[in-house]
Structure 1
Amino acid sequence: MKNLRVIFPMWQGGNQVEYKQGAEFLALIAPETGENTETVTVPVHEPSADSKVEDGITGRGALEAELSAAQSIITEHAPDTLCVLGGDCLVDLVPFAWLSEKYQDGFGILWLDTHPDVMTPAQYPNAHAHVLGALTGNGDPMLTCRVKKIVPESKVMIAGIHSPNAYEHGYLEKSEINLVSPEEMMTGTQPLTEWIKNEKITHLAIHFDLDILDPNNFYSLNFNNPEKTDKDFEGIAQGKLKLDDVIKWIAVASEQSNVVGVGITEYLPWDAIRLKEALSKIPLLTA
């Protein structure tokens, strides 16, 4: 089996420049890979002071170029499995679309996230909140055109979700997407095992957005941005789980199905990011 590790420091999907550095730090701390793994980096646009909304999507032109670059790289390597180190959540669009086309009806997605990411430009301009909707065939054509084999909603489980906004609630209520609350995740993995069995999922991709974690227990999250206050996050659901809770679910998922894709996203190690910036201002540490 040929595994491809993709370092994808995309940041404009979340319109937050620190996502780029988060992906770069993830690449540094991730375990070493085996001999069957190749590592590639998707080039992204350098952060700028102004990220404009273009036809409803923040940074549309840059995102389109970066998604195309990822598509070209993955197509060239033609991997059997993919591990993605992001960046904002949009990094998983092209890799998961590749796996859906490769594994067809046996493919499913476990979306470990506090948020469902099923909005469109009509509700919200930042495309990291559009990615799961696009994988299931709903959203802006710039995103959905990259999904040749749409993932049926019944083969998607969002675990860790709570307090969706009005649009998300209405969308999910009408969909066949399986939902598991943080409290249900804490009590056991039965919903996961039953879903994999009932949907006959033989090959699974796992999206792990770190904001599923409780910001009072895991600190490298957007909600702990030292430059913002609680008012900046009013109305936005925050994670409730501990890291061990999520790892347990991933372990059980790997026992019940072949895990062929993993995406780790939205890591924001604030102290490291601030220290890196400070070091760039110290004599003898820069060119």
Structure 2
Amino acid sequence: MIFINPQWQGSGFTDDLKMGAETFISYFKDSDTKVIPLSTKGLTTIANIKCFEPILEQTKLFKEIILDSKPDKISTIGGDCGIEIVPVSYLNKTYQGDLCVIYIDAHADLNTPESSPSKAFHGMPLRMLLGEGNEEFIGLLFSTLKPEQICYVGLRDLDEPESEYIRQHNITTIADCKFEYVQQEIKNFRNVYIHLDLDVLDKSEYEFSMFPTNIGSSVSDVAELVRKIKANYNVVGFCITESIATTLEQLNPIKPIIDQINL
């Protein structure tokens, strides 16, 4: 089963990611999918988090759905990166901390509500998974991560508090999407979770991400990295986030990646 979580409120006040997730629903129309319903609560900023109430309600609902289905592996399509706190914390608990999170993303998502310049939730999920941030959301986690469980790939656009956190905790960062580099860092783990924010891709190859960037990774490199990780490790989770493509044709360039979503 593929969970499609169209949560968009984590990116702020524009619902482009909702439309992007709906395009994925059409793409996977012949697959076994479960769509997470959206909240209708207001978009008020509370506790330094934009759209706090709908995100909280959607997180609770996603948690209930995961609890009901009790999967051993989780494939997810977003929506914004904030959806990650449920599947990652669930799988980390399931595999008793023997989980490396390969975070393929141009951004670190390591802000707290206080440090975030934008107050957008999608810049906070990894910090929350590390046990820091808003207590209501942290209280919904199945478990928390340790810094040594994280391996960034393609990271290049950070806020200073995120850079400082990475330095202080010696979190692994790899510039290029090359398996041989990643393999050296995840050799102590049996199980892997792949997070992919499409903004890691160079916008000359894929421009339909929420925050497309220059000097990004190629589609072929990311697709090959995912293939090799899946071939050499027990990949228990794979999530693709932050596409704003509104037609199936716009998804064509990343077909080699998204066709690997099933585990």
Structure 1 stretches (4+) deviating beyond 4 angstroms? none
Cα separation, 1, equivalents of 2:134 and 2:87: 18
Alignment check: 8 A CA contact 1:27 1:85 kept = no
> How big is the shift at 1:189?
2.0
Instruction: Tell me the residue number matched to 2:179.
Output: 189
Per-residue CA deviation, residues 185-221 of structure 1 (Å, 9 max, x unaligned), is: 3xx3222111121xx2111111110000111221212
* Counterpart position of 1:253: 229
* 2:201 equivalent in structure 1: 213
Report the aligned-residue RMSD: 2.1
- Distance apart, 1:122 and its partner CA: 0.6
Q: CA 1:239–1:263 in 2, change beyond 3 Å: closer, same or farther?
A: farther
* 1:160 CA drift (Å): 0.4
Q: Report the Cα distance in structure 2 between the residues aligned to 1:238 and 1:73, rounded to whole angstroms.
A: 37
Provide the residue aligned with 1:6 in structure 2: 3
* CA distance, structure 1, for counterparts of residue 108 and residue 214 of structure 2: 12
TM-aligned CA deviation for residue 155 of structure 1:
1.3
> Helix, strand or coil: the match of 1:104?
coil
The aligned residue for residue 84 of structure 2 is 92
Measured in 2, the distance between the counterparts of 1:131 and 1:239 equals 25
- How far apart in 1 are the matches of 2:149 and 2:18? 30
CA contact under 8 A between 2:23 and 2:246: conserved in structure 1? no
How far apart are 1:32 and its partner, in Å?
A: 4.6
Q: Which amino acid aligns with 2:197?
A: D
Match of 1:243 in 2: 219
Query: Given the two structures, how large is their TM-score scaled by the length of structure 1?
Result: 0.80
Q: CA deviation at 1:239?
A: 5.8
- What is the TM-score of this pair, normalised by structure 2? 0.87
Query: By how many angstroms is 1:270 displaced?
Result: 5.2
Within 5 A, what are the aligned runs for 1:152-231? 152-181=146-175, 184-185=176-177, 188-197=178-187, 200-223=188-211
Q: Which residue, 21, 24, 47 being the options, matches 2:22?
A: 24
The alignment status of 1:61 with 2:53, answered yes or no, reads yes
**Once the 2 structures are TM-superposed, how far is the Cα of residue 30 of structure 1 from its aligned partner?**
3.5
Hey, what does 1:111 align to over in structure 2?
103
In structure 2, do the counterparts of structure 1 residues 32 and 179 end up closer, same or farther at CA, with 3 Å as the change threshold?
farther
Partner residue of 1:232? none
Secondary structure of 1:148's aligned partner: coil
Q: For residue 21 of structure 1, report the CA deviation from its aligned partner.
A: 1.1
- Distance apart, 1:51 and its partner CA: 2.5
The answer for unaligned runs of 5 or more in structure 1 is 225-236, 273-287
Sort the Cα spacing of 1:90 and 1:238 in 2 relative to 1 into closer, same or farther, 3 A.
farther
**Per-residue deviation, residues 157-177 of structure 1 (Å, max 9, x unmatched):** 010001422111111111132
CA distance in 1 between counterparts of 2:97 and 2:163 reads 27
Indicate the SS of the match to 1:22. helix
The whole-number CA distance in structure 1 between the counterparts of 2:161 and 2:228 is 32
Query: Does 2:59 match 1:42?
Result: no
Aligned pairs, number? 246
Of 125, 132, 135, the residue aligned with 2:129 is 135
Aligned-pair distance for 1:222?
2.6
Secondary structure (helix, strand or coil) at the match of 2:9 reads: coil
Larger radius of gyration: 1
Question: Conserved in 1, the CA contact under 8 Å of 2:43 and 2:53?
Answer: no
Q: Does the CA contact (< 8 Å) of 1:215 and 1:223 recur in 2?
A: no
Distance verdict in 2 for CA 1:142–1:176, change over 3 Å: farther
Percent identity, aligned pairs only? 24
Verify: 1:265 aligned to 2:241, yes or no. Answer: yes
